[in-house]
Structure 1
Amino acid sequence: MLLSCEIIELNNEKCRLITLNDITDYKKMEDKMASLERLNLIGQMAAGIGHEIRNPMTTVRGFLQMYRNKDSFIKYKETFNLMIDELDRANSIITEFLSLAKNKPVNLTLKNINRIVQKILPLIQADATNNEMVVEVELTEVIDLLLDEEEIIQLVLNLVRNGFEAMTAGKRLKIKTFLDGNQVVLAVEDQGSGIKPEILDKLGTPFFTTKENGTGLGLSVCYGIAERNNATINIETGPSGTTIFVRFDDFAGML
């Protein structure tokens, strides 16, 4: 609340005029803007140093591949394989890091979010089977939007995999789409144990993670993708699970 108070006179009597304004939405927007600014700063760093790191790594990887197949190094082949695997892992982190860049070019064309979900559904179902989980899909008719399809695929897969990691075997994950006013909404709902309040405010912060082998970039990348595709991300969580809503504005309808 924002409180203001001043002394006024009514009928020659001094009174206090007190005003209370609810600024909850303003504070939420302020926090969101601060988070986006941090994300953009990290993105600028990513764009500046990501490629410079990747180029020498590519050279090192190439020489390792060449030397591991030479007869004189055959006894070190497993060591070479391990080094190549670690370089590939580092490269995948750099790829995620580069996805944070605000000035990353996007290819916005008219796409339907339902068709994008259906396109990658076999991959999602295979992932669910490997983790002994169930996937439900509830797609309702929605309008086409200006989207970068490759980015939206990455967004959906990141959210789905986060959902799988939050659950134990036998649980159910639901993917939904629906219209809410002039917004198209994509929702990913898991049956995990929910997100602790002290962690909720930090979600989306680059390199913040609660996972043992996590990089803390997955959800940060999702926020960046949402921003570039005219969308916002909201999270509802509780003891019975978490739902992440991605709300797309209908900019295509304004053309």
Structure 2
Amino acid sequence: MTAHQNPKTVFPTPRLSFRTSRTVIGLLLATVILAILLTFSTIENIDRAENHMRNFLIEKAEAIVHVLEAGSKTSAIHMMRSGNPLHTLLAESSKEDDLVFIRVVDKSGNVIDEAGSPSQIVLSTSNLTSILNEGSILTQLDRDNATFIVSKAFDSQFHIMNMHMMHDVNTTTAGGRPAENTYVISIGLLTRNFDAARKQDVHHAMFMGALLFLVGSAGLYFVFLYQDARVAKSSLANMRLYTESIIESIPVGLITLDSDGRIVSCNHNGEELFGRSFETLREKNILELLPSTSHYLTSNCDTASEHATEYTTAEGQALPIRLSCSSLLNHEGSVIGKVLIIKDMSSIRDMEMQLERSRKLAALGKMATGIAHEIRNPLGTLRGFAQFFGNQATTIMEKQYADLMVSEVDRLNQTVSGLLQFARPRELHLQDISIDDLFAKTIVLMNPDFIDSRLHFTCSRDTGIILNADPDLLLQVLLNLLKNSIHATPSGGEITLLAEEEKSHIRISVTDTGRGMTEKERDQMFDPFFSTGKTGTGLGLAVSHQIIEQHNGFFEVRTAPDNGSTITIILPKKSGEK
């Protein structure tokens, strides 16, 4: 892939349900609990502050009343010399900074005397009665003027001059002493300091609420960050699985290299192609495996061309491969390595060889048909004259010569019959056959040959495999393969006949411990008249190959010099299938 190409991939991203961890849930619960606690704490502090203010101001008002009551006793002796000693006392007391006013009223609510800036709040008759008769203390809060008013009974030791009366009220007891009179005194005290403290508490509560709001918002923000991170993590994991699944499922080897040509990754098909695990391939330079690709990797990478080469396996087998290369880029477009796609061309090469072989065999078959007809007729005449001369022979040597001519004509006629069978294969007679029965018949026919060659023979038994095929032709193929194995295996060797059932195919394998075949012999083994032995026509395997093709099957050959051979027939369970 070149630098200007952008891959277009639609990745299936599943929807993820919103889930939070215990930490996130704990954070949210802690935020809510703290908010509730802060609310109750603020309300409790405000109530406590108001109660403290009320008690403090009541105590202060009572202290002022006690001072006034004590002052009235002291001033009683000056009552006759002063116009209104109580007013003087009230005026002096009202000069304190936090005292707003002092007012004295009688039981009817009439103002007897007052000093300072009296509030407009008026005591009702019931309030006066409660204060005078029950001795209770009445508190009132004038929020507009920031004034806390305390009203209670006031005991005076002298007659109080009503400010609104133009004459004196002079009442004496029987003993000539002024009577003690009870009135209601109201004292107004400033609440500015307490209001300031309350505002400070409110501001503190608001600040803490704002702080909690920020903490809660941060918690929610982290929840969403967590969800985004979780989605990203899941998407990355899915993308990795998605990519790995694609890489592992492609039917070719895929290898990535770093900038120095060392192997960084390799899929399963690449491991099978090289016959090594990824652990042994990791960090290995690609030129150690494919030394002939040096020029291609440096000069022709990122081109549309493919490079054909061979890989030598650990067994020394040359494996044909095709190699394509493209640069590996990072997100910035910089080259960080290479991607190699390696195709195993063995099966394609085998198919090409089989196709070429089939083409040659078809041409050879046409030629063989004409030649066989031309040869077979004269052979009959030659055999008749040879028998005639044998019957007319007068000496033993003449008789031997005649018999030799007959046997050679018969051998030549057998070769011609083989050519005709190869050129004109008979029609298949398909039926369901038991592999166990077919193997049993094969053993009966071949066992004398195994004994004579002193070979150890084993085969599959009780497989229960049923195959749809022509039993006579399939038996002929097995006999040809086993005879070739006998000729290639020295005395004391082993020959094995096995059958395996797959999903839609049957595999029948003949394995020997003989001398094996070279690559050239392997390529020519199914050619007509090719033989590595001193005897035989070289038509057995060619005819066998033709029979298996009639059954829509094929051969798989594994062999190496001095390592024996395994020839496997792969047939569909139903001969009409492929």
**Which category of TM-score, normalised to the shorter sequence, fits these structures?**
0.7 to 0.9
Alignment match, 1:163: 485
Counterpart residue identity of residue 409, structure 2: L
Counterpart residue identity of residue 401, structure 2: T
Alignment match, 2:137: none
Q: Which has the higher contact order (CA 8 A, sep 6+)?
A: 1
Alignment match, 2:543: 221
Question: Could you say if the C-alpha distance between residues 235 and 229 of structure 1 is closer, same or farther in structure 2, counting changes exceeding 3 Å?
Answer: same
Tell me if 1:49 matches 2:371: yes
Residue pair 1:143, 1:184 contacting (<8 A) in 2 also: no
Tell me if 1:67 matches 2:389: yes
Larger deviation, residues 31-40 vs 41-50: 41-50
2:398 corresponds, among 69, 72, 76, to 76
Alignment match, 2:532: 210
Alignment match, 1:144: 467
**Following the alignment from structure 2 to structure 1, what is the Cα–Cα distance between the partners of residues 494 and 324?**
49
How far is the alpha carbon of 1:245 from its aligned partner? 0.4
**Following the alignment from structure 1 to structure 2, what is the Cα–Cα distance between the partners of residues 84 and 198?**
37
TM-score by length of 2: 0.39
Unaligned runs of 5+ in 2: 1-320, 327-332
How far is the alpha carbon of 1:225 from its aligned partner? 1.3
Q: Which runs of 4+ in 1 moved over 3 A?
A: 1-6, 17-21, 71-75
How far is the alpha carbon of 1:91 from its aligned partner? 1.7
Tell me if 1:22 matches 2:355: no
Q: Secondary structure at the match of 1:181?
A: coil
Counterpart residue identity of residue 563, structure 2: S
Alignment match, 2:431: 109
TM-score by length of 1: 0.84
1:197 corresponds, among 510, 514, 519, to 519
Counterpart residue identity of residue 69, structure 1: N
Counterpart residue identity of residue 343, structure 2: D
Alignment match, 1:181: 503
How far is the alpha carbon of 1:217 from its aligned partner? 1.7
Alignment match, 1:10: none
Counterpart residue identity of residue 141, structure 1: G
**Following the alignment from structure 1 to structure 2, what is the Cα–Cα distance between the partners of residues 149 and 45?**
29
- RMSD of aligned alpha carbons: 2.9
Question: Could you say if the C-alpha distance between residues 52 and 193 of structure 1 is closer, same or farther in structure 2, counting changes exceeding 3 Å?
Answer: same
How far is the alpha carbon of 1:20 from its aligned partner? 4.8
**Following the alignment from structure 1 to structure 2, what is the Cα–Cα distance between the partners of residues 114 and 38?**
35
**Following the alignment from structure 2 to structure 1, what is the Cα–Cα distance between the partners of residues 563 and 550?**
31
Question: Could you say if the C-alpha distance between residues 179 and 81 of structure 1 is closer, same or farther in structure 2, counting changes exceeding 3 Å?
Answer: same
Question: Could you say if the C-alpha distance between residues 23 and 211 of structure 1 is closer, same or farther in structure 2, counting changes exceeding 3 Å?
Answer: same
Number of corresponding residues: 249
**Following the alignment from structure 2 to structure 1, what is the Cα–Cα distance between the partners of residues 479 and 425?**
22
Counterpart residue identity of residue 240, structure 1: N
Counterpart residue identity of residue 124, structure 1: M
Residue pair 1:114, 1:177 contacting (<8 A) in 2 also: no
Q: Secondary structure at the match of 2:389?
A: helix
Deviation per CA, 1:51-85: give whole Å up to 9, x if none.
Answer: 33122212221232233123547651100111111
Q: How does 1:27-42 map to 2 (within 5 A)?
A: 27-42=349-364
Question: Could you say if the C-alpha distance between residues 78 and 71 of structure 1 is closer, same or farther in structure 2, counting changes exceeding 3 Å?
Answer: closer
Structure having the higher strand fraction is 1
Identity, in percent, stands at 29
**Following the alignment from structure 2 to structure 1, what is the Cα–Cα distance between the partners of residues 506 and 535?**
33
Larger deviation, residues 21-30 vs 39-48: 21-30
Unaligned runs of 5+ in 1: 7-12
Alignment match, 1:91: 413
Counterpart residue identity of residue 201, structure 1: D
Residue pair 1:192, 1:240 contacting (<8 A) in 2 also: yes
Select the structure of larger CA radius of gyration. 2
Counterpart residue identity of residue 163, structure 1: S
Q: Secondary structure at the match of 2:529?
A: coil
Question: Could you say if the C-alpha distance between residues 168 and 76 of structure 1 is closer, same or farther in structure 2, counting changes exceeding 3 Å?
Answer: same
